[in-house]
Amino acid sequence: MAYFISAKQAREKARKDSVINSETASIEAAVLTAVESNLLTATVDDGTTMTESNSGDAAQTLAESYHSVWQGGTTDATKTDQMAQVIKYFVDLGFSIHREINTSSNTTFKWIVSW
């Protein structure tokens, strides 16, 4: 008898955990820096797969694709899931996290985390 993977297993294999891990690590670093400065909010607006905003940087094109998916301009289930996993990770830890348009580029977003 043959066995087929479940939907959950297929989603986990397609997720590209390295993107999620990298994004959450960058946000964690920003949170720790903010805590050391006695702040209650951290912002990540550049330098990650999902937020890169340096004009002309090849990575910005990828970040713009995440922005487009977030804004509903394009559909990409993998990117939607990756962003949802980042949000879930911080919400599960008790943080509030949301995205805002990065006004320095207007084509990427920034993460805002508060506690």
Residue 1 placed within a domain: no
Asked whether residue 61 is domain-assigned, the answer is yes
Determine the average pLDDT of the residues in 53-75. 92
pLDDT band of residue 11 (cuts 50, 70, 90) is confident
- pTM (two decimals): 0.86
- 69 versus 9: which is more confidently predicted? 69
* Long-range contact set of residues 23-31: C-beta below 8 Å, sequence gap at least 24: 23/48, 23/49, 23/50, 23/82, 23/86, 24/86, 24/89, 24/90, 27/86, 27/90, 27/97, 27/111, 27/113, 30/111, 30/113, 31/95, 31/113, 31/115
At 1, the pLDDT band (50, 70, 90 cuts) reads: low
Tell me the mean pLDDT in the region 3-8.
87
Output the CA torsion sign for 27, 51, 42, 33.
positive
Range of the domain at 75: 7-114
Whether residue 10 is predicted with pLDDT greater than 90 in this model: the reply is no
Q: Is 72 helix (H, G, I), strand (E, B) or coil?
A: coil
CA 72 – CA 75 distance, rounded (Å): 7
Number of domains in the chain: 1
- The per-residue pLDDT for range 36-45, each reduced to its tens digit, is 999 999 999 9
User: Is residue 51 domain-resident?
Assistant: yes
Q: Quick check: is 12 in a domain? A: yes
| 20 close to 81: Cβ distance less than 8 angstroms | no
* Residue 54 forms part of a structural domain: yes
Residue 91, in any domain of the structure: yes
The share of the chain scoring above pLDDT 70, in percent, equals 97
